[in-house]
Structure 1
């Protein structure tokens, strides 16, 4: 653990074989510890890379009017501006404006568990964590430091948590599937992502339930989010292996654009030969030919509600949380058989 900037005071106490209080007293020149013990604890803390400088200690005593945001899907991609993806930019921009309405500022922070991370990051009033994966390590780190947080999307590993706001991904999936069925599709393939977050889990669950209710065999595929359009292109042979489906619902817009391109290379075009829709709008869906039907997740509304929830928590209130925001299906030519 040497050199790790995100070591906690609990880690130092465990290594030194003393209480957390003893570590705090040693680092802050308090208590009645012997000088030998005080020096030993300080040396252990330094060797582990524990950072608790005077600025951070002072700031944690009072609010500073700044909240942080961690964009977990972009952490996973290790790319904070993936081509064509404007959902996170829209969310972060709207969150910054909403924060001002609460007298707060917004600070975007990269992956807190990978570092290096400025000590100021752990002195913020609270955090928004977007799309956490199951038992997310960033969430665990914030909890270990007693830093308030809310998540955009549920942490699938915390079913009892209430400090979240989420798009209603079950409803959005049903909107898309119902539209495709109304346009004549009887076999609909589902292309989800591989991140273990509630967006993927809830959409996949809704698709499975829809198939069961409608007597349709599941045709379910998963792609790494980071593969983007290339991943969509590479999937097409598998999509066609058992015959072309009537329709394809791809959660990720970049996957959908790649699927459309590879299908066209095989002489199959939407909406004549199949219908295509996706679970998030992006530049690729709007500018494709034909334009691709997509779900508008309404990131501005999500940002407003998420910031409001966190602001209430940091004020010491006990808000209800568990807020679902209904998405909007934007129908475009890729899924309109009756289009002129």
Structure 2
């Protein structure tokens, strides 16, 4: 494999049948690995042509005034400009400006565990990792290299962690459900994504609790985020299987837009026949007909809070994390019946 591509630490871990952390410890004389295991990992790394990033190790000894940002949902999509999705652009732009306010520069980095990755990526002062999935491998890699990081959204696999900022997704979900109920909805279907992150988990939990409190039967569906409008369209037969719901709450705006189109094709138009709202605003929700009620997650505020937390951590401070940022419900015609 040597010379064909930049062999990553993940490649070595996969070949050796061990964790990324174990490879890092073997190559950097850390941890409690047996000498036999340590030697075997080194032999595999050498055979594969793995290049230890000496530049990064040298630069890690001092700060360089640059932090990185990894957009995990877009890594999963392998598309950094999904049509209509401006949340990440708003977040990244605000994070760059916020970094300047702290005397820092911002570098956007693709998936650190898939490679090829420039050695400079591991010399940055710290990282913002957005929407990590449970036991996220990027988070594990940063920890194995002792690189400070802050996550936007909790890592569901690390309940003890405090180095995170998140939108208050449970409260936002309850706000949207209360709004739909105030419009007369009693049977509200919920459409979530499939990524195992805190956004999906917290919203789903809030929905189930709300149904329990209001004596409503949950009608819960999931569709992969990457399917976008097509994913929403494909769910409509299931949404209608037990009759037209009074309202539908879809976490992603692209799913909501697809649901609205497919419902209209079947003769059901919002808000006359059902109410529709979604958990994140997007171009599709703003330009739909009728425009779709949506949650504005306020990515500019999230970016400011996240960068501030990371900046303080990289400077050796111990700031209080676990910061929740309130979202805003933007009411549009899809959930407003005529008086």
Separation of aligned partners in 1, 2:254 and 2:42: 50
Separation of aligned partners in 2, 1:299 and 1:145: 28
TM-superposed deviation, 1:58: 2.0
TM-superposed deviation, 1:56: 1.8
Point out the more displaced range, 111-120 or 163-172. 111-120
Contact 1:68–1:126 (8 Å) recurs in 2: yes
TM-superposed deviation, 1:41: 9.6
Point out the more displaced range, 200-209 or 50-59. 50-59
Number of the residue aligned with 2:7: 4
1:119–1:290 distance in 2 versus 1, CA, 3 Å = same
Contact 2:21–2:144 (8 Å) recurs in 1: no
> 1:51-74: per-residue Cα shift (whole Å, max 9, x none)?
334422221110000000000000
Separation of aligned partners in 2, 1:249 and 1:41: 49
Separation of aligned partners in 2, 1:192 and 1:183: 22
TM-superposed deviation, 1:253: 0.2
TM-score, length basis structure 1: 0.90
Separation of aligned partners in 2, 1:12 and 1:253: 40
Separation of aligned partners in 1, 2:44 and 2:136: 28
| CA RMSD, 1 decimal | 2.2
Q: How does 1:1-340 map to 2 (within 5 A)?
A: 4-6=7-9, 10-11=22-23, 14=26, 19-20=29-30, 45-338=45-338
Unmatched runs of 5 consecutive residues or more in structure 2? 13-19, 32-39
1:41–1:207 distance in 2 versus 1, CA, 3 Å = closer
TM-score, length basis structure 2: 0.90
SS of equivalent to 2:209: helix
Point out the more displaced range, 1-10 or 311-320. 1-10
> 1:180-233: per-residue Cα shift (whole Å, max 9, x none)?
000000100000000000000000000000000000000000000011000101
Contact 1:12–1:44 (8 Å) recurs in 2: no
Contact 2:24–2:145 (8 Å) recurs in 1: no
Contact 1:12–1:45 (8 Å) recurs in 2: no
**Equivalent pairs, count:** 321
Separation of aligned partners in 1, 2:267 and 2:162: 49
Contact 1:135–1:158 (8 Å) recurs in 2: yes
Separation of aligned partners in 2, 1:298 and 1:269: 29
Rg: which structure is higher? 1
SS of equivalent to 1:205: helix
Contact 2:23–2:41 (8 Å) recurs in 1: no
SS of equivalent to 1:321: coil
SS of equivalent to 1:329: strand
Separation of aligned partners in 2, 1:70 and 1:206: 27
Unmatched runs of 5 consecutive residues or more in structure 1? 22-39
TM-superposed deviation, 1:50: 3.5
SS of equivalent to 2:161: coil
SS of equivalent to 1:284: helix
TM-superposed deviation, 1:45: 4.3
